[in-house]
Structure 1
Amino acid sequence: MDWIAKVFQPQILALLIPVIAIIAIFGNKALKAHHQHLERMEKIRNGIDPDANE
């Protein structure tokens, strides 16, 4: 449990919070892109042209 005390030191948190935020933002964007890809593939399987709306 000593590692928890080390992590919650202000010096460590000042670096850890932005790093975690950046990783979370990129992870969220990757999941959204993957979901859009799956939706596009499903439209193609169902015979719908996904580019017809543009």
Structure 2
Amino acid sequence: MQWLTNILQPQILALLIPVIGIIAFFGHKALKSHHQHLERMEKIRKGIDPDANE
């Protein structure tokens, strides 16, 4: 449990929280983009023009 005590120190958390936030932000954007790509590919497979709405 020594590692947990080290991580919970304020000077470590001050660096760790923004790094985790940035990773989570870009991870979310990547997953959202991947999901949109899968939806577009499924529309193409079903014969629907995905660009017709734009």
Q: Same fold (TM over 0.5)?
A: yes
Moved over 6 A (4+): none
Question: Normalized against structure 2, the TM-score is what?
Answer: 0.99
Question: Normalized against structure 1, the TM-score is what?
Answer: 0.99
Identity of aligned residues (%): 80
Q: Write the distance in 1 (CA, Å) between the matches of 2:31 and 2:3.
A: 31
Q: Write the distance in 2 (CA, Å) between the matches of 1:10 and 1:20.
A: 15
In structure 1, stretches of 5+ residues that fail to align are none
Report the alpha carbon displacement of residue 15 of structure 1 after superposing the two structures with TM.
Answer: 0.1
Please give the per-residue CA displacement for 1:1-27, whole angstroms capped at 9, x wherever unaligned.
100000000000000000000000000
Q: Write the distance in 1 (CA, Å) between the matches of 2:35 and 2:24.
A: 16
Give the aligned length: 54
